[in-house]
Amino acid sequence: MNFHITLMSDEIIEQNISYGVVFLPSVVFVENNVKILIPNSSTPKYELGFFDKLLAIKSNLSNLETNKKAHILIEDIGHGTKADLDNLVLDLEQNNFKVYSTYI
């Protein structure tokens, strides 16, 4: 599986923020087809805390405060697993995002 995350909140009404989460084989966050973060190149698994590493480098995410939502589009291709998805969802929920997911 590969994942596409779209983040929404009351602070970004005019646009949403989207990132890809792909496994090459390590987890890679992608923005506009550019690799922006490899949280841990020594593991192919999504680990809790990886989303915090994305928050640390993306200043536009620090002002998201109210009515935070994350929509995950799940592609049935790639090396991600159900356990990776579960950790991603938990990571987002621990950052106070209400999470929705859709398989495509």
pLDDT digits (tens, 9 = 90+) for 26-80: 999 999 999 999 999 999 999 999 999 999 998 777 777 778 999 999 999 999 9
Number of structural domains found in the chain: 1
Query: Does the global pTM surpass 0.85?
Result: yes
Q: Give the whole-angstrom CA distance, residue 12 versus residue 102.
A: 22
- Which pLDDT value is given to residue 66? 78
Q: Give the whole-angstrom CA distance, residue 61 versus residue 87.
A: 20
- Which pLDDT value is given to residue 81? 96
Q: Give the whole-angstrom CA distance, residue 104 versus residue 79.
A: 16
Q: Who contacts 84 (Cβ-Cβ below 8 Å, separation ≥6)? A: 1, 23, 27, 45, 46
3-class SS at 11? Answer: helix
Q: Give the whole-angstrom CA distance, residue 10 versus residue 85.
A: 25
Question: How confident is residue 12, by pLDDT bands cut at 50, 70 and 90?
Answer: low
Element (H, E) at 69: strand 69-75
- Which pLDDT value is given to residue 10? 77
Instruction: Domain of residue 49: give its range.
Output: 2-61+68-103
- Which pLDDT value is given to residue 62? 72
Residue 19 has pLDDT above 90, yes or no: yes
